[in-house]
């Protein structure tokens, strides 16, 4: 029996040494594992076999300089409660709701100029940046997951290292976007194909606003760090600073100084800059009294590649989302202008519900990631359950509100009688879409927080295949009803496919 135990322990030591040298487990985890080995009833077995002793000593030499820091930074078991979920979800929901307000203000400012071409250029340019920056929003999500895991494991230095890696990527990608500005502008004009005056205004807007690319991506990284630590109120503060400064500068530069469309574009650049400065001040004050990671730790090749791979998977998800929405719009356009307009009106219901569901998805990201970092299965299970429960409650509430007030909301969005009538016909489909989609939002949050991004990417691609496979036959057989049914199928497959593999991934992670 002793020989069998010694073999198990020696294999554990060797496996631990291999894993630690590959930087795939935390130093805190290594310390705790060695303590268990050295202080368990199996400790005499380590003397049986010289190889086992060497394994322990070699790992001990690697971790000895940070042993005390790891123990000091280790987080005690934490409980996932309704209050903890809401403390993240509510502030971030409010923060997400400020984004469409910004678009409305920019439109109002340019609308005061009385030039339809400028308004069209603003709208077309905004679409281009929605595509570009939503693609790189993976930087925010990926940073949240990695910081949450470091936070859960009590690794203060790793939290800072993740932020610095994310900021490095943000600056590099932002500069690349600036250099690609003329190509991005040309591609946008080619795709949208506006008239000459609108195209000119569009190019002007893009040429100025693209200068904010590094700042925008840095704000994604800073927000990701803050949310990774579960600080929803700070995240809300940063978003209010960003969008509030943007709004004030757009008014001042666009109308007071008379810069027009250029003033709105420069207002966006200024808002991003002020948000970076504000976030930087908050972080510098926080880091002043903390131990800092070494440069070689920050720019560790394996860690950088892991972050890049994570962002790549989330980026693929973003492209797939855009493809699904674009395909829905294209198929709707085949059914006529009135149908296209009615669908556009009803999709606002989904986007409104999405802002609220994103708040609870963000809570799932942080809490699931923290539980994974702390290796706490109970906390992970509670995070999945409570974020899903609140998401369902919110989805049911949104569905009821859309049913009760849908006609009024449609009337606020459009005055065209034909569009109103057709939108009312398809209102039940739009009202139920929050219920069909809540699980997809929550599962995305859980898998991003746990950094199971490859599974999320694969299931997103699988759901797109199911969506396309249902869209064409249902659209041909039932028209616009078939298109909406396919949208529901897509969302349901997204959520259920991720839920189906969740137990397997959880067993791999928590044992």
Q: What is the pLDDT of residues 13-50, one digit of tens each?
A: 444 444 444 443 444 444 444 444 444 433 433 433 33
The torsion angle over the Cα atoms of residues 499, 77, 227 and 372, rounded to 10 degrees, is -40
Q: What is the mean pLDDT of residues 103-131?
A: 84
User: How many domains in the chain?
Assistant: 3
Residue 262 has a pLDDT of: 94
Could you tell me if 425 and 371 are in contact, meaning their C-beta atoms sit under 8 angstroms apart? no
Res 490 pLDDT > 70: yes
Same domain, 26 and 137: no
Specify whether the CB–CB gap between 27 and 155 falls below 8 A. yes
Residues 105 and 249 in one domain: yes
d(C-alpha 346, C-alpha 332), whole Å = 12
Q: Which residue has the higher pLDDT, 309 or 105?
A: 309
Within this chain, do residues 138 and 265 fall inside the same structural domain, yes or no? yes
My answer on whether 281 and 216 are in the same domain is yes
Q: Is the pLDDT of residue 488 over 90?
A: yes
Residue 341 banded pLDDT, cuts 50, 70, 90? confident
Which among 277, 238, 269 is positioned nearest to 253, based on CA atoms?
Answer: 269
- Supply angle C-alpha 369, 371, 374, rounded to 5: 110
Same domain, yes or no: 309 and 244 = no
Q: How far apart are CA 375 and CA 368, in angstroms?
A: 10
Which residues fall within 8 angstroms of residue 198, CB to CB, at 6 or more apart? Answer: 117, 120, 121, 124
Which one of 93-102, 141-150, 184-193 scores highest in mean pLDDT? 141-150
| pLDDT tops 80 at residue 120 | yes
Q: Give percent helix, percent strand, percent coil of the chain, each to the nearest 5.
A: 90, 0, 10
What is the reported pLDDT for 69? 41
In eight-state DSSP terms, residue 48 is S
Distance (Å, whole) CA 140 – CA 145: 9
**Residue-range definition of the domain harbouring residue 376:** 303-511
Average pLDDT over residues 102-125: 83
Q: Return phi, psi of residue 146, to 5°.
A: -70, -40
Specify whether 363 is located in the same domain as 279: no
290 DSSP 8-state letter: S
**Total residue count of the chain as it appears in this document:** 511
In angstroms, the first-to-last Cα distance of the chain is 24
Q: In this structure, are 510 and 469 located in the same domain?
A: yes
Tokens standing for 144? 């949240």
Is the pLDDT score of 182 beyond 80?
yes
Same domain, 167 and 286: yes
User: Do 56 and 97 belong to one domain?
Assistant: no
pTM: 0.81
Each residue's pLDDT tens digit, 377-431: 999 999 999 999 999 999 999 999 999 999 998 888 788 888 899 999 999 999 9
Whether residue 143 is found in the same domain as residue 277: yes
CA 228, CA 499: separation in Å to the nearest integer? 23
Please report the pLDDT score of residue 175 as a whole number.
Answer: 97
Q: Which of 17, 47, 73 is the last residue of a domain?
A: 73
With a CB cutoff of 8 Å and minimum separation 6, the contacts of 481 are 426, 429, 474
Compute the distance between CA of residue 181 and CA of residue 472 in angstroms, rounded to an integer: 36
Question: 155 or 72, which is more confident?
Answer: 155
Residue with tokens 């969005």: 413
| Same domain as 91, residue 123 | yes
- Last residue of some domain: 55, 73, 91? 73
pLDDT, mean of residues 346-358: 87
CA dist., res. 251 & res. 237, Å (int): 21
Euclidean distance between CA atoms 347 and 366, whole angstroms: 28
pLDDT, mean over the chain: 84
User: Please, are residues 69 and 291 in contact by the beta-carbon 8 Å criterion?
Assistant: yes
The label of the residue with tokens 């250099």 reads 179
| 392 and 495 inside one domain | yes
Q: Is 395 exposed, middle or buried (0-12, 13-18, 19+ CB in 10 A)?
A: buried
Last-in-domain residue among 73, 104, 127: 73
Mean pLDDT calculated for residue range 460-487: 94
DSSP class of 79: -
The C-alpha angle with vertex 159 and arms to 78 and 357, in degrees rounded to 5, equals 60
Please state which of the ranges 80-89, 136-145, 324-333, 470-479 shows the lowest mean pLDDT: 324-333
Q: What confidence score (pLDDT) does residue 340 get?
A: 87
């Amino acid at each position: 029996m002793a020989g069998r135990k010694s073999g198990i322990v020696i294999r554990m030591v060797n496996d631990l040494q291999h894993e630690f040298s590959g930087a795939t487990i935390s130093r805190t985890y290594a310390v705790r594992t060695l303590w268990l080995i050295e202080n368990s009833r199996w400790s005499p077995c380590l003397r049986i076999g010289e190889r086992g002793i060497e394994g322990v000593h070699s790992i001990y030499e690697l971790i000895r300089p940070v042993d005390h820091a790891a123990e000091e930074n280790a987080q005690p078991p934490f409980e996932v409660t309704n209050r903890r979920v809401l403390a993240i979800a509510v502030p971030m929901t409010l923060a997400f709701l400020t984004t469409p307000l910004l678009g409305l203000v920019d439109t109002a400012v340019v609308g005061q100029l009385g030039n339809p071409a400028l308004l069209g250029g603003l709208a077309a340019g905004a679409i281009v940046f929605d595509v570009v920056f939503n693609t790189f929003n993976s930087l925010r999500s990926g940073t949240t997951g990695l910081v949450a895991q470091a936070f859960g494991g009590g690794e203060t230095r790793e939290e800072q290292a993740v932020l610095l890696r994310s900021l490095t990527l943000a600056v590099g990608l932002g500069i690349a976007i600036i250099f690609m500005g003329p190509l991005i502008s040309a591609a946008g004009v080619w795709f949208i194909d506006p008239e000459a005056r609108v195209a000119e205004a569009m190019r002007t807007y893009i040429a100025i606003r693209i200068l904010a690319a590094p700042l925008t991506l840095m704000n994604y990284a800073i927000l990701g760090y803050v949310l990774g630590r579960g600080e929803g109120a700070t995240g809300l503060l940063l978003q209010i600073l960003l969008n509030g400064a943007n709004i004030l500068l757009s008014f001042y530069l666009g109308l007071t100084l008379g810069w027009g469309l250029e003033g709105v574009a420069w207002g966006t650049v200024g808002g991003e800059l002020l948000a970076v400065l504000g976030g930087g001040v908050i972080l510098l004050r926080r880091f002043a009294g903390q131990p800092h990671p070494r440069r070689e730790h920050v720019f560790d090749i394996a860690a950088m590649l892991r972050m890049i791979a994570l962002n790549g998977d989330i980026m693929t998800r973003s492209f797939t989302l855009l493809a699904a929405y674009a395909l829905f719009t294209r198929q709707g356009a085949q059914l006529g202008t009135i149908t296209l307009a009615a669908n556009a009106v009803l999709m606002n219901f989904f986007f409104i519900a999405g802002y609220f569901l994103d708040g609870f998805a963000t809570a799932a990201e942080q809490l699931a990631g923290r539980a994974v970092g702390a290796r706490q299965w109970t906390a992970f299970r509670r995070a999945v359950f409570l974020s899903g429960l609140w998401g369902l409650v919110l989805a049911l509430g949104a569905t009821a509100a859309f049913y009760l007030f849908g006609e009024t909301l449609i009337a606020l969005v459009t005055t065209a009688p034909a569009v109103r009538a057709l939108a009312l016909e398809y209102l039940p489909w739009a009202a139920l879409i929050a219920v069909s989609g809540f699980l997809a939002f929550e599962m995305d949050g859980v898998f991003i927080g746990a950094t199971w991004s490859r599974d999320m990417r694969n299931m997103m691609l699988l759901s797109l295949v199911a969506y396309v496979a249902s869209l064409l036959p249902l659209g041909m057989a039932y028209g616009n009803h078939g298109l909406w049914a396919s949208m529901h199928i897509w969302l349901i497959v997204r959520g259920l496919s991720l839920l189906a593999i969740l137990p397997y991934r959880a067993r791999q992670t928590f044992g």
